[in-house]
Chain A
Amino acid sequence: MTEALAFWGVAIVVAALALPVAFRLFRAFPDYGAGLSLALGLTLLAAGYFLLRVIDVLPAGRGGFLLAIALFGVVAFVVATSDRRFLPTLRLALPGMAVAAALFSTLFFGYAFFRAHVPDIAHTEQPMDFLYLNAMLVSPEFPPHDPWLAGETASYHYGGYLQAAVLTGAADVWPASGYNLALGAVFASAGAAAASLAAALARWLFGRRARLWVVGAGAGAVLLLLFAGPLASVFELASARGVANEAVFNAFGTEGLVRCGSLPDESCTGLLLDPATRWYPDDHWAWWRMSRMSYWGPQPGYPFTVTEAPSFSFLLGDLHPHVMAIPGVLLALATAAALWRGRGALSWHDHRRRPTLLLCVAVIFGSLAFVNVWDVLAFSPVLALAVLARNRRERSPGETAIDTATWLAPPAILAVIFFIPWWTGFSPENGGVYAYGGGGTRIEHVLLMWGAGIVFTLPVVGWATGRRALEPPARYVRRLRWRWLRRWGSRLAGSPFALALGPVLVPIVIWLFLAGFERTAAPFESGSGPGSALGGRMAGAWLALFFYALVLWLLTGAALVLNRRNHPATPIAVLGALGVFLLYLTELLLLRDILFFIPRLNTVFKLSYQAWIVLSVAGAVGAMAGIRAAPPRYRLLAAAPVVVLLGASLVFAVTNTPNRAGDFAVRAGLDGLGYVERLEGGEYELVRWLNDNAERDAIVVEATGRVWLRGEDGRPTREGAEGSYGSAGRVGYRTGLQTPIGWPGHERTWRGASPELNAEIARRQDLVDRVYTASSALEAVDALRALGATYVVVGDLERSLYRDGLIPPFETFLDTVFARGSVMVFRVPIVEVVPTR
């Protein structure tokens, strides 16, 4: 509880310090940006901390975090005092601040309560997440070191971990508790940010008097973003309760969720499970099925891929970049919306008048990549569109283009400069864009996964329809000077809805182009080229593609029409169109990365996640707009489908939270390593001891994960292959100290699987294995020197991997510096002449 309070206190301080900047950026928001202030504060603070650490102004440790906050406070004070409207704005913002603080606190402590029942950092990629959090906390130099590849700097988008580390370090919280509390802070910050943005969009649309509608939009955004999940959960629940009509399940493509009982017959296509004994699906990790469509039915749209909703992420509890990015994404979208909403054209002159805005935009959008590199690709164009749309209201097309470019260039350049130390160390494998040639996604699955968000967004199209909407923009065409251009221009630019075909057609053209060059990828791909790619797609998937194209066209057209009228519904249409566009892209294209052996895994995972975020905000406001547009006496009728759809979306969180929290039976506390303390006390003490005693730049040797036996000739013999996701690497991830090699597969993912890297990984693995299988002290010490290592850990894990008594008697030639139960730490002996005069 004390740790949660300290963490919460630091978060509130950071949010409070960000208010002067938030007031400047979001003065048009009903809460004046209070709901976005933690996301803003953490973004600015982490970027500042990163820069100051890189140039060695701030040292490592808690003091560095506190000093960074103090410096941020000074900057905030200067910003506040240089703003004549700060104090009046503060008075006006008090109600909004109170609501934002209450919402944040409720979500934070609520989530902390939930995590206190499932705190373990033990599965999936949580060790990797904990690794980066610890690296940010203990790394003596910045950019931070990679604890799983000693001597190398981290090559990952670690901005989110740095933000979590700022809060953990400043609050002086035990890192394993900080992990869980950081998740809570992300959850709460995302909720507050979504509510703030949705409330702003609703206020602009409905006006000042429609307070209830504004509150409803904010609450809806929180529900859709944090608690809503796939509608397939309804089928899961029905099946768990024993209500599974196969025909209905087949019709919705969820036949895979039907429970056939634990003794199935051959016709069973579903789960080998009996109905649940509780009111919710109570089998182990039932909620996992909602993140993989392959569980839902045969011929899934996304075999081997992940379709995750934020509610699933928070239930799972992985502190991944795409999760930590949510508040930053909403902040970036809010910044773009606020810029769009402002008056007067934006050009480079504006930066001279408002340098604070320039710096903030640069850091906010630069941080998108720093936290989750996928986001900078998806959301930077939104900023460009917002500035372009605003300038177009004031300027001619030519002036608009020039002003927009000159306004965008400085923050873009600064965004790169700020994060150059990170960019230069970031080298994931990137193989470019490919055309997707697989079977595609069934329309049923599309609707079950994203249907609610898309449908909620559609009412915005209503504002754009009507006679004027379809009028060609003749004034544009008339201005064109050349006859041929006028002729073609008039044909091309028939109406905004004709222009809206652009985002629909361009990806298809690219797809055809790539397929034409046989640059296609698909699971179980049987051929290449456009014919094969076209033929491979299922009928239901063509329907899904058409559905996306239709909705995208409608929303894009609506956005163009509304922007021409400077209509406040424009951002909602843009967000809706963006969400659908991202989903549309997943059906046509994919980015090649290290996981190319499962084509489009990451493309689907990351783009659909981004789509969920934007659709939850746009959908919340759109749904409220749809209800409000109905005549008052029909509003209840209009609200009914919204309530039904929303309720169905919430089934996921409502039914799976007790499953995940073990029915809230055991409250284990927030320590993510508490289970280690309970099960392997020595291992827990090891983490404590290393944290307290090992030098921050020390290299610690632990097992590689490879199994070694004594062969018939008495020599060590390797058995089996290496693997990630195991217990190997536990010292690295639990302490953040450098180890020679951790999870090799992940290193290849982060750095690109070059032959040099593979050779280096193999060299390190061989050296570490030699330490543990050395036949003499000299051989072991030589291997330790080659690794530059100081400490060697021997625990049950090492004994289970280096079997048959292979581990040499370290205590006879190394210093025993730690021993608890079966866990021991040895150190290379020190002999050093110390000058004293």
Chain B
Amino acid sequence: MTATPAAAHDRPRRHRPYRRERNRPTISVGTIAWAAVVVLFILLRVGVIWRAPVGGAELAHLSGAWQARIGVEDERYVPTFYQAVSALTLGWSESEVPARSLAFAATLTIPLALFLLRRHLGAGGALLALLLLALDPAGIILGVTATASAWDSAIAVWLVVALVASRPPPWGWAPIAFLVATSGPLTLPVVLAAVAIAAWRRARPDSEALIWGLLGTALGLFLTTLQFGVGADGLRIAPVRLFVTSFDEAWSTLTVAQLAPLYGLPLLAGGAVAGAWMVLRLRAERRVPTPPEVLLPGAAALAFGWFLLALPTTSPFALAAATFYASFLLGPALARAISFLISADWRPHGYLLAITFGLIAIGFFVLSDWGREGRIGGADERVLVAIPVFFGLMALSVLALALVSSLREELPLALLPTLVGGGLLLLVGASGVALSAAGEPLPGPTSPPAARAIRDIAVDAAASRGHIVIHERYREQLTWPFRASPEVVLASQVPADAGVVIWPIEAPPPEGFVALEGRWVLERSLAGPTSVLEAIHWFGQRNSLSEELELVVIYVRRP
């Protein structure tokens, strides 16, 4: 086809504005969104490094790392690679901050990994997954505090990248395998899912990559078995060991079943729905699922299985694993839901949404008022709650029915209140953990600053009087606050050469000693809400939970 002179004349004019656009520096909305989410991701974590008390799994694992640093074999030293590194940092500084900083540094790579996964999760899906990870309260604690699993989420997400989004060189599998073999249990779901999928698809790994991987694994197992130089006590596989002991150890004041509604409900419920929806969609589309569409649901299913089994246990790892993998399912699902919401015609049913939100808000305000007062209100107030709840549910039902029957594509509108509610819960949980850690039951129980103060006073007093003697009941609790102290004697009865005695408050005072005045707290824990009202109150007022203190008495020998 030949261009007319007029058309030839028009061409440069058409191109001019395009050229101008290309030359002008532009920032897309997507970039801004990524930047905003990354900043949120960082902001929600950075304060935790200094603010969060040492508690729960972190207290146990830092104690283990300290024991490793001074060359004492201890069951609390698992060790993962991170725990070995944190033991190293305790040689430079007695503070937990360097170890936490290293955990935070590794966690900071997660946004980059998500960015690399955006082709596989979808741009919006990856961004929303990152947002959910940023807001995940369990993830915030796990990614910054110095538990043995601090690097797990970073390793797991990079393992996903290596498996689905990039092709590492064969030698690259050596460090990957090493990191996985020396990591905590959060990587296990991905590893098991990958092995199962490889078996299912009869995929044979490249032999060179396999050899490098085996070398990395062997090195990892060799080092964990030698406890990174502390000693050898049989074969140790760090992820397996942590997984197994998480069922028996008390690394949290609350059980997983109690923690889940407080911190994980939106992600867990959303993840489960997203997973089911993904399966239905794949069946409907009748296509071969892509690698992440198999790997991530597989890993999430395993993590959910772990979570369900761990419900009665007191370890937060299972919850963290479930919310972590749920985010990868929920992110892409939310992206689709949001695009539906944007394209849906809100006008016919907008009034129903407004009514729903309004009624829910009224109901919530009354309930929170009851929660604050710690009692259920009178008959008139009950009616005040019953009416909005009834009409709210009615409105939701009408909305859902109307949409299902006439305009199926607008069905996500019915989910909007749930999404908003879930988002609010997530925000409250994340901000609570990130900003007001002292009022959170996660982590718990904690070693308060007062415990270190006990140590300082005891050391000062013991200088002129004799040994520091601590009741044997506090064997586990004393390691961290009493690190780098003079010789400490653990005893169940007061020895004759004791100078300072730290004894349970209910035990009879030892003869020849006087008690130092003060309220000495060795350990602090927060009890979870015991009723729905208490939980509602706690969501609004984070410092409302009752605390349990392990009080001790400091006795010094009479001069």
Contact = CB atoms under 8 A, between A and B. Distances in A.
A831 B247 contact: no
B312 to A, nearest CB: 6
A835 B483 CA distance: 9
B457 interface: no
B196 interface: yes
Contacts, number: 97
A827 B201 CA distance: 58
A59 interface: yes
Interface in B475-523: 475, 478-479, 482-493, 495
B278 to A, nearest CB: 20
Contacts of A831: 489-493, 495
Contact of B235 (A57, A63, A834): A57
B245 interface: yes
Contacts of A64: 244
A835 B490 CA distance: 10
Interface in A27-65: 55-59, 61-64
A832 interface: yes
A521 B86 CA distance: 70
B199 interface: yes
Contact of A59 (B244, B489, B490): B244
A66 interface: yes
Nearest to A832: B490
A77 B196 contact: yes
Interface residues of A, number: 29
Contact of A61 (B70, B247, B472): B247
Contacts of B192: 70, 74
Contacts of A55: 234-235
- The range of chain B's interface size is 35 or more
Interface string B239-283: 011011111100000000000000000000000000000000000
A568 B294 CA distance: 45
Contacts of B490: 830-834
Contacts of A264: none
B196 A74 contact: yes
B383 interface: no
Interface in A64-80: 64, 66-67, 70, 74, 77-78
Interface in A806-837: 815, 827, 829-837
B237 interface: yes
B72 interface: yes
Contacts of B487: 833, 835-836
A56 B235 contact: yes
Contacts of A236: none
Contacts of B244: 58-59, 61, 63-64, 66-67
A81 interface: yes
A530 to B, nearest CB: 57
A747 interface: no
B247 A62 contact: yes
A833 B235 contact: no
Contact of A815 (B196, B302, B482, B493): B493
Given A58-B240, A77-B199, A172-B312, A830 B491 contact: yes
A57 B485 contact: no
A262 interface: no
B306 to A, nearest CB: 8
Contact of B241 (A59, A70, A78, A81): A59
Given A834-B489, A837-B483, A57 B240 contact: yes
Contacts of B488: 833-834, 836
B283 to A, nearest CB: 16
Contact of B199 (A67, A82, A833): A82
Interface in A324-344: none
A63 B485 contact: no
B478 A59 contact: no
Nearest to B248: A61
Contact of A63 (B237, B245, B495): B245
Nearest to A815: B492
B200 A830 contact: no
Nearest to A56: B234
B199 A63 contact: no
B492 A63 contact: no
- Most B CB contacts (10 A, CB to CB) among A62, A81, A833, A836 go to A836
A77 B484 CA distance: 50
A550 to B, nearest CB: 55
B401 interface: no
B237 A835 contact: no
Given A58-B240, A61-B244, A74-B196, A66 B309 contact: yes
Contacts of A815: 492-493
B492 A829 contact: yes
B15 interface: no
Contacts of B482: 836
B240 A66 contact: no
A765 B199 CA distance: 57
A717 B192 CA distance: 64
Nearest to B472: A830
B202 interface: yes
Contact of B493 (A67, A172, A829, A836): A829
A837 B248 CA distance: 28
Contact of B248 (A62, A827, A833): A62
B199 A66 contact: no
A64 B241 CA distance: 9
A66 B237 CA distance: 16
A827 B472 CA distance: 12
B248 A78 contact: no
A829 B496 CA distance: 14
A81 B199 contact: yes
Interface in B61-97: 70, 72
A52 B475 CA distance: 31
A832 B195 contact: no
- Most A CB contacts (10 A, CB to CB) among B248, B475, B492 go to B492
Nearest to A70: B192
Contacts of A81: 196, 199-202
Interface in B110-139: none
Contacts of A70: 192, 302
Given A74-B195, A78-B196, A837-B70, A830 B246 contact: no
B192 to A, nearest CB: 6
Contacts of B243: 63, 67
A70 B302 CA distance: 9
A833 B247 CA distance: 30
Nearest to B191: A74
A61 B312 CA distance: 14
Nearest to A55: B235
Contact of B247 (A66, A82, A835): A66
Contacts of A67: 240, 243-244
B101 to A, nearest CB: 23
A433 B470 CA distance: 63
A185 to B, nearest CB: 19
A56 B489 CA distance: 32
A836 B235 contact: no
Contacts of B241: 59
A830 B492 CA distance: 5
Contacts of B302: 70
Interface in A135-173: 172
Contacts of A63: 243-248
A81 B203 CA distance: 11
A837 B309 contact: no
A67 B199 CA distance: 20
Given A55-B235, A81-B201, A82-B202, 9 more contacts: A63-B244, A67-B243, A829-B491, A829-B493, A832-B491, A834-B475, A836-B70, A836-B479, A836-B485
21 contacts: A57-B235, A57-B240, A58-B244, A59-B245, A63-B248, A64-B244, A67-B240, A77-B196, A81-B196, A81-B199, A832-B489, A832-B490, A833-B488, A833-B490, A834-B470, A834-B490, A836-B70, A836-B483, A837-B70, A837-B483, A837-B485
Nearest 3 A/B pairs, CB to CB? A63-B244, A56-B234, A63-B247
